[in-house]
A and B are shown apart, each in its own frame.
Chain A
Amino acid sequence: MELNRLTIHELQERLRDGTITSVEITESVYRRIASVEDRVHAYITLTQEAATEQARAADRRIQEGAGGALTGIPIALKDVLSTQGVRTTCGSRTLENFIPPYDATVVKKLKDAGAVFVGKTNMDEFAMGSSTETSRFGITKNPWDLERIPGGSSGGSAAAVAADECIASLGTDTGGSIRQPAALCGVVGLKPTYGRVSRFGLVAFASSLDQIGPITKDVEDCAIMMNAICGHDPQDSTSVPTEVPDYRTCLSRDIEGWTIGIPKEYFVEGVDPEIRASIDTAIKTLEGLGARCLDISLPHTEYCIATYYIIAPSEASSNLARYDGVRYGFRAPDGENLLDMYKKTRSSGFGAEVKRRIMIGTYSLSSGYYDAYYKKASQVRALIRDDFDRAFTKCDVILTPATPTPAFRIGEKMDDPLQMYLYDIFTLSANLAGVPGISVPCGYTKGGLPLGVQFMAGHFQEEKLLQIASAYEKNSDKEKRTPDL
């Protein structure tokens, strides 16, 4: 068995008993990268030299009987997370040569835990996209079918895990960017509650929606990663000083007597019949474990996309105002004066989708339109959150499909931005409400494409998500496949 194919917990066991070393794991990961990366293109930057050093240090630490659950484990980071001394591009020309002077808090936490950093993964430019097609650095392919998209915006992070080009990865999720690519690539992805994980050092897209979270091969690995990255950080005033539980302890608990909410608004026309069938099977499995399903309603669901695509671009237009070619990032060389320099810099530094969202956001916030768009959307957002609050008084978790269809073909939605936006229909609501969500593999289409089921829970109830995801994972009779690369 190639080491790069194993999970964090499987590798950790062998590292502990001394049968393997972190250097060996790291080598097997880069061997895999050398053989499949030209087809998958999950990475923007590889950091093999530093990784080898980190692996050696981890091996010394383990030999001394020290270290923890992530010591010596090769992990990939979405290229939106600042890494000191390693360029962080956000998939954009604007930051093509940007070398952060500090580590994001999550990166520092993983570093302190002794993780090995494989490289920085590809993503939609500034995390704006659902397919990883808007990256300045080329398109990432879905490892299950190289003619299809891996999802987005954390497409590189999901594809790298699915293709065994790393053991686990971090992604970010503003409207589904962890859960959706995880579903399309057949891996586990969790978006924590807003405030659960520090955003310090995460290049901001939409500050009231962004969260960092793990993408892993199984649910136990997801819990291990959560243990490492969660917690309050004085550097992020929106991170919450709530105690972080040991997320591994909930994995062995059963879900007998749980109530699973099934929102009727998520089972509408347009959901692929194969997805619907696999979700039905998942529901039966969970009922077999003693859970009870309850039909619920999230009545403002149909307004989620419009609400999201006003709020997220509004915040983005403000956040991306900083890219003016003065303090860091790309500057156009031929600016005649300051204003001209700003405009030329931003116009050639940003790609089409980023410009489009800056335009939507600037328009929504502009004088005369603010009340009709931004304020209205913020009010509807409150109603969407209230829907969830009400639902969680009746059920433990909510179950939905993670995506309306399996992975679509490269180029299929690039000419129609609205169609691309509509693809996020099942994942946006968790970000608007701030609740956590997890996507777990739930089978394959007849054509062999992976599918995902999503669970959502109340604020700071990640334990419930991991508990039900783990119970489902152990008891679903779906055979474990790997992509044929």
Chain B
Amino acid sequence: MKITTQEVGYVAHLARLDLSEDEKGTLTSQLNNILMYMDILNGVDTEGIQPMTHAISLGNVFRNDTEEKSIGVEMALANAPEGEMGFFGVPKIIE
């Protein structure tokens, strides 16, 4: 076993997902299968190999610190499920 149902529950919490008991069961077996397959990588000697994070070599890109047009509050809020007075609305945070 690579991952237990309990761990699946914990990872789901980290990913902000609520899983039903059924989903947890299915995912536990599927993730075990997939993670077991990933073991193939243990056969590769990667001693001293620099991890590759970009497909091509990239340098940092700077731009001038000048003001540019942005989409504005109204447009920014246009797709919000809830919002008023120029703010995004969320359920109460402070008890």
Interface residues of chain A, those whose CB is within 8 Å of chain B, are: 97-99, 101-102, 193-195, 208-209, 234, 237-238, 240, 300, 302-303, 305-307, 309-310, 317, 321, 324-331, 335-344, 346-347, 350, 355-356, 358-360, 362-363, 366, 373, 375-383, 385, 417-418, 421, 431-434, 459
Interface of B is mostly: loop
Please state if B46 and A341 are interface contacts (CB–CB under 8 Å): no
Q: Assuming the A-B contacts A347-B19, A418-B34, are A326 and B55 also in contact, with contact meaning beta carbons closer than 8 angstroms in the complex?
A: no
Q: Give the complex CA separation of A132 and B51 in angstroms.
A: 32
Interface residues of B in 42-95 (CB under 8 A from A): 42, 44, 46, 49-56, 58, 61, 63, 71, 75-76, 78-82, 88, 90-93, 95
Interface residues of B in 22-56 (CB under 8 A from A): 23, 27, 30-31, 33-35, 37-38, 40-42, 44, 46, 49-56
Q: Assuming the A-B contacts A326-B88, A358-B15, A366-B14, are A307 and B54 also in contact, with contact meaning beta carbons closer than 8 angstroms in the complex?
A: no
- Return chain A residues, CB-CB under 8 Å to B40: 302-303, 306
A95 to B: closest C-beta gap in Å: 9
Please state if A240 and B52 are interface contacts (CB–CB under 8 Å): no
- Return chain A residues, CB-CB under 8 Å to B41: 303, 306-307, 310, 376-377, 380
Q: Assuming the A-B contacts A310-B38, A362-B14, A418-B33, are A385 and B52 also in contact, with contact meaning beta carbons closer than 8 angstroms in the complex?
A: yes
Please state if A380 and B46 are interface contacts (CB–CB under 8 Å): yes
Please state if A417 and B56 are interface contacts (CB–CB under 8 Å): no
Instruction: Pick the contact of A360: B19, B34, B51, B81 (CB < 8 A).
Output: B34
Please state if B38 and A309 are interface contacts (CB–CB under 8 Å): yes
Q: Assuming the A-B contacts A237-B61, A378-B53, are A359 and B27 also in contact, with contact meaning beta carbons closer than 8 angstroms in the complex?
A: yes
B4 to A: closest C-beta gap in Å: 12
8 closest A-B pairs by beta carbon, nearest first, are: A434-B55, A378-B51, A328-B79, A194-B55, A331-B81, A382-B52, A379-B46, A237-B61
Known: A338-B93, A344-B18. 4 other contacts (CB 8 A): A321-B16, A338-B92, A346-B18, A362-B11
- Return chain A residues, CB-CB under 8 Å to B55: 194-195, 208-209, 385, 431-434
- Return chain B residues, CB-CB under 8 Å to A102: 71
Q: Give the complex CA separation of A417 and B26 in angstroms.
A: 11
Q: Give the complex CA separation of A381 and B56 in angstroms.
A: 12
Interface residues of chain B, those whose CB is within 8 Å of chain A, are: 3, 8, 11-12, 14-19, 23, 27, 30-31, 33-35, 37-38, 40-42, 44, 46, 49-56, 58, 61, 63, 71, 75-76, 78-82, 88, 90-93, 95
Please state if A326 and B38 are interface contacts (CB–CB under 8 Å): no
Please state if B58 and A238 are interface contacts (CB–CB under 8 Å): yes
Residue pairs across A and B with CB atoms within 8 Å: the count is: 163
Most buried by A among B27, B33, B35, B54: B35
Minimal Cβ-Cβ distance residue in A for B52: A382
B6 to A: closest C-beta gap in Å: 13
A241 to B: closest C-beta gap in Å: 10
Q: Give the complex CA separation of A124 and B58 in angstroms.
A: 30
Minimal Cβ-Cβ distance residue in B for A323: B16
B54 to A: closest C-beta gap in Å: 6
Minimal Cβ-Cβ distance residue in B for A355: B17
- Return chain A residues, CB-CB under 8 Å to B58: 195, 237-238
Instruction: Pick the contact of B51: A209, A238, A350, A375 (CB < 8 A).
Output: A375
A128 to B: closest C-beta gap in Å: 14
Please state if A234 and B92 are interface contacts (CB–CB under 8 Å): no
- Return chain B residues, CB-CB under 8 Å to A358: 15, 17
Can you give 17 A-B contacts (C-beta < 8 A)?
A238-B54, A306-B41, A327-B80, A328-B79, A328-B80, A337-B91, A337-B92, A355-B23, A356-B27, A359-B31, A362-B15, A366-B11, A377-B41, A380-B46, A382-B49, A431-B55, A434-B54
Please state if B90 and A208 are interface contacts (CB–CB under 8 Å): no
- Return chain B residues, CB-CB under 8 Å to A373: 38
- Return chain A residues, CB-CB under 8 Å to B19: 347, 355
Please state if B49 and A379 are interface contacts (CB–CB under 8 Å): yes
Please state if B93 and A337 are interface contacts (CB–CB under 8 Å): yes
Instruction: Pick the contact of B15: A97, A317, A335, A340 (CB < 8 A).
Output: A317
- Return chain A residues, CB-CB under 8 Å to B92: 337-338
B15 to A: closest C-beta gap in Å: 4
A433 to B: closest C-beta gap in Å: 7
- Return chain B residues, CB-CB under 8 Å to A431: 55
Q: Give the complex CA separation of A447 and B88 in angstroms.
A: 55
- Return chain B residues, CB-CB under 8 Å to A321: 16
B17 to A: closest C-beta gap in Å: 5
Please state if A378 and B52 are interface contacts (CB–CB under 8 Å): yes
Please state if B31 and A360 are interface contacts (CB–CB under 8 Å): yes
Minimal Cβ-Cβ distance residue in B for A333: B81
- Return chain B residues, CB-CB under 8 Å to A303: 40-41, 44
Q: Give the complex CA separation of A338 and B37 in angstroms.
A: 37
